[in-house]
Amino acid sequence: MPAWSSGSRKLRASAIGQSTTCCCSRSSAVLASSNPSRRKCLAISRVWRGRSRMPSRARSTRHYRPLKAWITSASEPRMYLEFYGLKEPPFSITPDPRFVYLSERHRDALAHLLYGIGQGGSGGFVQLTGEVGTGKTTLSRLLLEQLPDNTQVALILNPHLSPIELLETIGEELHLDLAGRRGSLKRLLDVLNAHLLKAYAEGQRVVLIIDEAQELSRLALEQVRLLTNLETPSQKLLQIVLLGQPELRDLLERPELRQLAQRVTARYHLTPLSYEETDIYLRHRLAVAGATRFPFSKLAVRRLHERAGGVPRVINVIADRALLAGFAHDQAQIGERLVERAAGEALSTRIRRYSPPPALLVGALAVALAALLLWLLPRHDLPPTAPTPAQPVTDVVPARSAAATAPQSLDQATLTERIRATGPSLLLAFNRMLALWSVRAEAIDAATASRCPAVLSSGVFCLRGNANLSKLARLGRPAIVHLRSEGVDAWALLLGVDALRVRLWLGGERIELDRLLLERLWNGEFISIWRAPEFVVLPLRQGDSGAAVDWLRTHVQADGDQGAIGPALFDAELTLAVKRTQARYGLLPDGVVGQETLLALIANDDSGPQLRTRLD
């Protein structure tokens, strides 16, 4: 990797041997200007960066263009990797165990969770709260990795469930046979209790983890409390972990939920990182990504900590933008001013609007006042106007221009108004998604669409879950996302996503939003459908055989895992191959093919609608 010298801007000796065939490439633009063509390329490169010889004021104005202008002109927002000697993006917001940095408070929180589930837990509740982005999801993943082998886990990512749907989801997570029991609270509790007793007899522990628990309804919370009544004379059969935002603490303090609050055996609240921890956090992630030097100055780290409030996720967003800005402005050392500009771009909630000059505003005000005075004049003082002759009605249809068909780019205020005008939109978005897959929607009503049954029709599957944009991009299929803006809810169909923008279908129109804006308005809930052969019956696990396993082996192999070659038997080797596929897509690597794993396996299938990853 070429390493930059802040004093001379020359490539070090390690850059010798880099390809320089393209004169106008960034790497060739900074090579020693030993021949005329390279000197010409160097001059062109400097003009592109706004560093040509010009008055200092003009050069300063161009040099500090808004960061979004640089990003828009860049084809790849991670182009700063080579510039800073990195092997991979250091500040991705997707949880990656390799980048995990555990501060002292994170280690304490993990210890509380393990204690509550292990010997210290008596089968009650374990509660972990923290602000958005403080690391609750990361800790839950670490918790799953450190649980003993004799532990069964049911992970609930979507808390917007009725009591019956909650029990059904728990049963699905524990791979229980729910045939003939769905829709009945008693039958679902009976089969769950029987499974818990069997697990207890076999020395197994069963843990239920509910993420975003502050979103649980009161009825669902009461059902969760009643689950702790499943017990033997000496021990509770189910350990429950509640992960949520600070609102969860307030929720459990309500008088009507005091019985649930009394059963919390361990609780911990995550707080943001301190300045010193922020500095260590930045250095740790950069080192894992391959950096050999730390590009942030002390003042830059302090400003980054102040603007991010010590929240790891926000630190990642600002640091990523700052690295890109440093690359765009040819600065190997990132200072306080660059971090401030990057934070302003990354954390802005609205797109900046054009501000007209003051003289234009004064002129517009004068025209408006004159029009108002004219309107206030008595009507009889105005000369009568001749009636306008009626225009003949024609059947002319206006041609649709490119501007009319292009997606509209909206800010949050405009989006909120659009959502209010659209109203309840789940069925509309669901029918649109069905149309993309050429599935007839006559028999699908709103209630069925909102439940998203596992099998919509023969060979058509539906999944309702929780994810982030990076995960949906890897899965590669259109998905319905749940938006909430200023207290107004809507369902939109995600059609495309790139590093900066997202494309949605909302209320019959295509729109585009800033990616960061969608991430703020979206709670992670999504609905997606896909096609698979009719003979594929889920779940598939080790020991199964037949045409479905043969199909599975072919698709795992097509996903790049050559270890899947073998007979049409779900053996241990195929189980390992499935686990590797699950890990690549950010799924729980349990080796069992469920809905999410099936969706991941067909991600590389060219049939059916694809999620656009370039929004031109």
Buried-exposed string 123-153: b where 16+ CB fall within 10 A, e elsewhere: bbbbbbbbbebbbbbbbbebbeeebeeebbb
Mean pLDDT value of segment 238-254:
88
Among the ranges given (7-11, 89-93, 447-451), the one the predictor scored with the smallest mean pLDDT? 7-11
pLDDT at 453: 76
Q: What are the backbone dihedrals phi and psi of residue 460, each rounded to the nearest 5 degrees, phi first?
A: -120, 120
More confident residue, 376 or 579: 579
pLDDT at 559: 61
pLDDT at 34: 42
Q: What is the mean pLDDT of the chain?
A: 75
pLDDT at 2 over 80: no
pLDDT category at 60 given cuts 50, 70, 90 is very low
More confident residue, 281 or 123: 281
What value, to the nearest 5°, has the Cα angle with vertex 497 and ends 481 and 131?
60
pLDDT at 369 over 80: no
Among the ranges given (20-34, 125-139, 488-502), the one the predictor scored with the smallest mean pLDDT? 20-34
pLDDT category at 590 given cuts 50, 70, 90 is confident
Among the ranges given (24-38, 290-304, 321-335, 448-462), the one the predictor scored with the smallest mean pLDDT? 24-38
pLDDT in tens, 257-282: 888 888 887 788 888 898 889 999 99
Please give the Cα distance from 100 to 141 (Å, whole number). 11
pLDDT in tens, 14-46: 333 333 334 444 333 333 434 444 443 443 343
More confident residue, 69 or 163: 163
Among the ranges given (30-44, 248-262, 530-544, 585-599), the one the predictor scored with the smallest mean pLDDT? 30-44
pLDDT category at 448 given cuts 50, 70, 90 is low
Q: How many helices, marked H, and strands, marked E, lie in the chain?
A: 26, 13
Please give the Cα distance from 548 to 504 (Å, whole number). 34
Helices (DSSP H) in 30-177: which residue ranges?
36-48, 56-63, 67-73, 80-83, 104-117, 136-146, 163-173
pLDDT category at 86 given cuts 50, 70, 90 is very high
Task: Assign 3-class secondary structure to 384-408.
Answer: CCCCCCCCCCCCCCCCCCHHHHCCE
Is residue 272 a contact partner of residue 131, using CB atoms and an 8 Å limit? yes
Percentage, residues of the chain above pLDDT 90: 23
Give the count of beta carbons closer than 10 Å to the beta carbon of residue 578.
29
pLDDT in tens, 342-359: 898 887 543 333 344 444
Domains of the chain by start residue, with CATH: 1-63 (no CATH), 75-97+273-346 (1.10.8.60), 104-270 (3.40.50.300), 409-531 (3.90.70.10), 547-593 (no CATH)
Q: Which amino acid is at 6?
A: S
pLDDT category at 119 given cuts 50, 70, 90 is low
pLDDT at 444: 55
The SS3 assignment for 440 reads: coil
Please give the Cα distance from 94 to 91 (Å, whole number). 9
- The tokens describing 210, both together, are 């509910």
pLDDT category at 480 given cuts 50, 70, 90 is very high
pLDDT at 80 over 90: no
pLDDT at 62: 39
pLDDT at 420: 79
pLDDT at 107 over 80: yes
pLDDT at 175: 94
Percentage, residues of the chain above pLDDT 70: 72
More confident residue, 206 or 258: 206
Is residue 195 a contact partner of residue 176, using CB atoms and an 8 Å limit? yes
DSSP string, 570-612: --HHHHHHHHHHHHHTT----S-B-HHHHHHHTTT--SS---B
Find tokens 């603007």 and name the residue: 307
| Range of 51-65, 70-84, 155-169 with top mean pLDDT | 155-169
pLDDT at 498 over 80: yes
pLDDT in tens, 523-536: 888 899 888 887 88
- The tokens describing 3, both together, are 């390493």
Is residue 437 a contact partner of residue 530, using CB atoms and an 8 Å limit? yes
pLDDT at 404 over 90: no
The SS3 assignment for 251 reads: helix
Please state whether the predicted TM-score (pTM) of the whole model is above 0.75: no
Closest CA to 48 of 68, 74, 22: 74
pLDDT category at 517 given cuts 50, 70, 90 is confident
